[in-house]
Amino acid sequence: MSKKRIAIFISGRGSNMEAIVRQVQDGILKDVCEIALVFSNKPQAKGLEIAKKFGLPVAAIPSKGKSREAFEREVLELLQPYRIDYVVLAGFMRILSPLFIRAYKNRIINIHPADTRLFQGVGGYEWAFENKLPSTKITVHFVDEGVDTGPIIAQREVDLCGADTLEEVERRGLAAEHEFYSQALRKVLTE
Ligand code: GRF
């Protein structure tokens, strides 16, 4: 089976992107995919610097001040020569319109820091913390035309007992995300 070509989309820190890169280099994604591009809608995103240090191709197109469609047309054009099989969203903070989603139908994957059936949108860890949940579920899902409504690929439960600050909730959640996202990607990319 030939390796799938993925583009990872980020907007900021890029810790999930980094975790995936490590698994592609020398872990469970090694034989499964290659990272054709790390893309950001924020040229200053910290994660782009990390990706460069790994020697990965990076690109940024600012989304600020553009309509969704105008921005996405530029991104689609940028992606074309890279022959991307899957778009992997990792902290990409821009909602994609049907224009983009249809171009990569069933080939866009996202990680959400909550159970998408219970909580959608930004602030999944704040929601879990404020509601004093004993546990939360990280969700990896396909992206459809709604916000965090696409078919669920896999979920990972995170124990939050005794996590009495938001920082601790985030710390436990992110540690789980970093391990879990690559596992879920492997599942999709090898099916
Ligand atoms: C993660 O919590 C992810 O689930 C959410 O945004 C955050 C991104 O963090 N979609 P990072 O940029 O991967 O560090």
* Spatial distance between the Cα atoms of 50 and 19, rounded to a whole number of angstroms: 11
Q: What is the pLDDT of residue 94?
A: 95
Can you tell me which atom of ligand 1 is nearest the CA of 10? 12
Span from the CA of 67 to the centroid of ligand 1 (angstroms)? 24
Is 154 in contact with 187 (CB distance < 8 Å)?
yes
Q: What is the pLDDT of residues 30-45, one digit of tens each?
A: 999 999 999 999 999 9
Report the CATH number that the domain containing residue 98 is assigned in CATH.
3.40.50.170
Domain region containing 68: 4-189
Q: What is the pLDDT of residue 95?
A: 95
**Segment 147-164 mean pLDDT:** 97
- Residues with catalytic roles: 112
* Spatial distance between the Cα atoms of 160 and 126, rounded to a whole number of angstroms: 12
* Spatial distance between the Cα atoms of 2 and 156, rounded to a whole number of angstroms: 28
Ligand 1 in contact with 113 (CB < 6 A)?
yes
Q: What is the pLDDT of residue 1?
A: 74
Span from the CA of 122 to the centroid of ligand 1 (angstroms)? 10
Span from the CA of 180 to the centroid of ligand 1 (angstroms)? 13
Our mutation pick for probing the ligand 1 site, out of 88, 111, 148, counting the most ligand atoms within 8 A of Cβ, is: 111
The position carrying tokens 């591009």 is: 37
Look at the chain and count its residues.
191
What does 126-154 look like in DSSP terms, one character per residue? HHHHHTT-SEEEEEEEE--SSSS-SPEEE
Asked if residue 165 has pLDDT above 90, the reply is yes
How many structural domains does the chain have? Answer: 1
pTM of the model: 0.97
